[in-house]
Structure formats: structure tokens, C-alpha cells
Amino acid sequence: MAEDQHYYPGLEGVVAGETRLSYIDGEAGELVIGGYPLAELAGNATYEETLFLLYEDRLPDADELEAFRDDLAGRRTVDGAVLDVLREAAETGCDAMEALRMGAAAADIGGDGDDRETAKRMVAVLPTVVAAYHRFAEGEAFVEPRADLRHTANYLYMLTGTEPDEAAVRGVETYLNTVIDHGFNASTFTARTIVSTESDIVSAVTGAVGALKGPLHGGAPGPVLDMLLDIDASGDVERWLRERLESGERLMGFGHRVYRARDPRAAVLSTAAREFFDASDEGQAFFETVRSVEDTAVSLLEEYEPDRALETNVEFYTATLLYGAGVPRGLFSASFAVARVGGWTAHALEQLEDNRLIRPRSRYVGERRREWTPADAR
Ligand code: ACO
């Protein structure tokens, strides 16, 4: 049979599977999670409710929610050996995503291998791994998780050792819900590919962390914050942005493989982020700069790349919101993983419901008739 030689670089536009977890309309800038439009869900749901929705395809009733919360809360602790690895990672200068990759791989030591139990375990434990790394990197003692706090509140509590206020919890929870799932993005597709070999959920999550780490995927919000702070200090938004574009640099927080409109997550996160900055004059001024950077960048990108609709992506307001909520810059990508692990595990379970090995073809572009020459004759 002749090979189909049609090739889409980066699999752009290729439909590689079916999912009921999230729907994206890139042209209209629309995102639906578990059947709910993003704006309907993100600011209302707790993270536990959104996760239950992804796993069960419906929202829990009050009793189910309480049981699910308790179930997750009981899976938060990590083994001493994992803490040792994270301490070593912090002390030798690994960044948070490197530490998370190590922590995720080791987090389920002694687990029973049941897919659904492992999925919940990975969601519950990733915040502990990130927070432990952070505490060690700061030269502070590890803060044990507290089972009486909700998932998001407990994450923030483990970072600082202080119970967070409700505004910080709501803001960060809106973020976790907003980015929990997003179709076949690179890290989710990685997770699905791994379980499609009948490997395991821990491997899927560990591989997904690796895929998320890159600056073209989850590594962008740190550089976005650097850009915003630098522009704020420079006082000249347009000149700063134009100089970067003139030197051929990409503006972090703009452009997307699927969206040709403003990323719908940017709208939700922008509203949530504003809450943190409205309280003070200084905050309001910073938020004004953020808005001005967005408007100026979008119009300059139109000028420099007229053929590609480059709009604000999720990372632009992720950086703004997490900065406003007091999450350290070095933990932005790791916090993205803390949210997205819900999507990764839901996709892994969905893949396993009706599994078929993911194994695409490649188009060969090398030589075919080379003749062997011994080493001493080359
Ligand atoms: N700034 C300047 N130019 C850009 C940008 C940008 N942010 N994004 C794309 N372009 C340009 C490219 O240089 C390219 O121009 P060319 O055709 O003249 O070479 C054209 O637009 C098309 O870009 P592609 O790389 O083909 O677009 P792709 O779909 O592969 O990339 C991506 C999407 C990786 C997100 C890209 O827009 C980018 O690098 N953005 C900056 C990094 C970023 O914000 N990443 C977070 C993404 S959101 C997420 O993963 C959760």
C-alpha cells in the first residue's frame, strides 16, 4: 500500500482523537470545559468540583463533593524519600519544573497501580511537591499539608505556612479552573500517548510535566512577568515592544496554535487579576500598564505579522494574576502543572476507556541506497 505522504508540521490542524473534556473554537475564541462555558465555570466552581466534572462528566451533589474533597485531601502527604529528593533539587539549584519532574516521578511510591486511584493521588500530591521544593529553595522548613483546607487553600498554605485569605484562594482557584484542561495541547497529548502504550498514570504525568516545561507551552508566564515589570520600569510601552519585534524576538503571552481570536481564558483571568490590583493606587497603575502592554502588543503584532492573527494568550494574564496573588515567579509554570494535572489525568483515563495505541507515521527524507564502507576506509 502506498504511504499517505500528507504531512502537517507540528500536527497543526490534525484531529488526533475524540474527547468530551473540553471544546475549543479557535476562530470564535470559545472554550467549553465539561460542557460548561469557561466563564460560567471558572469563577464559580471549586477546583475539586471541576475535577469531579472532568472525571465523572457531571457536577457532584453536596455529599459527593464533600466525600471527593476528603478523598483528595487524604492523598496529599509525600514520603520522606521524596522530600529528600526535593531538598537536594532545591539545594543544587534545580528550577521548580525540574524538581516537579523528579517529584512527580517518585510521588506514588507504594501506590497500588489502580489507574483512577493513581490519578487522584497525582492531582492531590503535586501541590505538596511544588510547595516542598519552594520551602527548601527558600531555606525554610517543609509545611505539612492540612486536610481541613480545600485543595487551593492548602496549596497556598503550604507555600507560605500561613492560611491564605479568601480573595487569594478565589483568585488562584479561578486560575486553576481556567487552565485545568485545553484539548490536545502538547502536554496532554504527551500524557495520552504514554498511557496509550498501556504504560501508567505516573509516567503520563511525569512526561506531561516535561512537555509543559518548555517556553512555547507552559514556560511563558515567568518571562511575561519579566516583560511587564521591565516595561513598567522603562515607562515607554511602545518603544520597548517595538525594539523586541525589530530584533526578531517573540513577545511572550501572545500567539497561539489554535486561537485566532483573544484567548477566552485571558478574559476570565484578566477580570480575576484586576481584583488584586484594584485595592491600591500603585496596583491600579500597574494594571493600567498591563492593559496598555496588551493593546499595544496586539496592534504591533498586526503590523509586524499581518498574515497571522496574533492575540493575547492565557499566559499573559496568568502572569498578572499569579503575581497579584503573591505566587512567586519561579513557581508560575509549576502552578500551571498543579492545575493541568487534573486535565492530564482525566485525559489519561478517557484514553484508557477506549484505548488505541497512538502511533503516527513519518515521512522519510533521508538516503536509501548508501553503500557500507569500513571505518578505516572512510
Ligand atoms: N511574537 C512575535 N511573533 C510571533 C509570536 C509572538 N508571540 N507568535 C508567533 N509569531 C510569529 C512567528 O514568528 C511566525 O512568523 P513567521 O511566519 O514570519 O516566521 C508566525 O507568527 C507564526 O508563528 P508560529 O510559530 O508558526 O505559530 P505556532 O502556532 O507554531 O506558535 C506559539 C504558537 C508557540 C504559542 C507562538 O505564538 C509563540 O511562540 N508565542 C510566544 C510564547 C508563548 O506565549 N507561549 C505560550 C503559549 S500558550 C500555552 O501553551 C498555554
Q: Which atom of ligand 1 is nearest to the CA of 316?
A: 44
Distances (CA, A) of 120 to 55, 152, 227: 10, 15, 36
Is 1 a residue whose pLDDT tops 50? no
Three-state SS across 202-214?
A: HHHHHHHHHHHCC
Residues in CB range of 134: below 8 A, 6 or more apart = 90, 96, 159, 328, 330, 331
Partners of 177 in beta bridges = none
Is 332 a residue whose pLDDT tops 80? yes
For 106-172, the DSSP string reads: HTTTT----HHHHHHHHHHHHHHHHHHHHHHHTT-PPPPP-TTS-HHHHHHHHHHSSPPPHHHHHHH
Distances (CA, A) of 85 to 79, 91, 133, 185, 341: 10, 10, 9, 29, 21
Q: State in Å: Cα 105 to ligand 1 middle.
A: 30
Least confident of 108-117, 134-143, 300-309: 108-117
Is 227 a residue whose pLDDT tops 90? yes
- Asked whether 315 lines ligand 1 (CB < 6 A), one says yes
Average of per-residue pLDDT values in the chain: 96
- Asked whether 254 lines ligand 1 (CB < 6 A), one says yes
Q: State in Å: Cα 233 to ligand 1 middle.
A: 26
Is 266 a residue whose pLDDT tops 60? yes
Q: State in Å: Cα 229 to ligand 1 middle.
A: 22
Residues in CB range of 293: below 8 A, 6 or more apart = 227, 228, 231, 237, 241
- Asked whether 310 lines ligand 1 (CB < 6 A), one says yes
Identify whether the C-beta of residue 217 lies closer than 8 Å to the C-beta of residue 211. yes
Is 111 a residue whose pLDDT tops 90? no
Average pLDDT over residues 29-51: 97
How large is the greatest C-alpha to C-alpha distance in the chain, in angstroms? 77
- Asked whether 212 lines ligand 1 (CB < 6 A), one says no
Percent of the chain with pLDDT strictly greater than 90: 94
Residue from 300, 305, 333 whose mutation best tests the ligand 1 pocket (most atoms within 8 A of CB)? 305
Average pLDDT over residues 360-371: 95
Alpha carbons 154 and 264: distance in angstroms, whole number: 28
Q: Whose CA is nearest to atom 27 of ligand 1?
A: 257
Percent of the chain with pLDDT strictly greater than 70: 99
Residue from 181, 256, 318 whose mutation best tests the ligand 1 pocket (most atoms within 8 A of CB)? 256
Catalytic residues: 256, 315
Reported confidence tier of residue 55, pLDDT bands at 50, 70, 90: very high
Is 216 a residue whose pLDDT tops 90? no
Q: At what angle do helices 332-353 and 186-196 cross, to 10 degrees?
A: 40
* Residue indicated by cell numbers 521524596: 82
- Asked whether 305 lines ligand 1 (CB < 6 A), one says yes
Is 200 a residue whose pLDDT tops 50? yes
pTM, to two decimals: 0.94
Reported confidence tier of residue 219, pLDDT bands at 50, 70, 90: confident
Alpha carbons 322 and 152: distance in angstroms, whole number: 13
Query: Nearest 5°: CA angle at 311, between 233 and 15?
Result: 140
Average pLDDT over residues 175-181: 98
* Residue indicated by cell numbers 466534572: 53
Alpha carbons 103 and 129: distance in angstroms, whole number: 6
Helix, strand, coil share of the chain (percent; to 5): 60, 5, 35
pLDDT, residue 3, reads 58
Is 377 a residue whose pLDDT tops 90? yes
Instruction: Please give the single-letter amino acid code of residue 252.
Output: M
- Asked whether 220 lines ligand 1 (CB < 6 A), one says yes
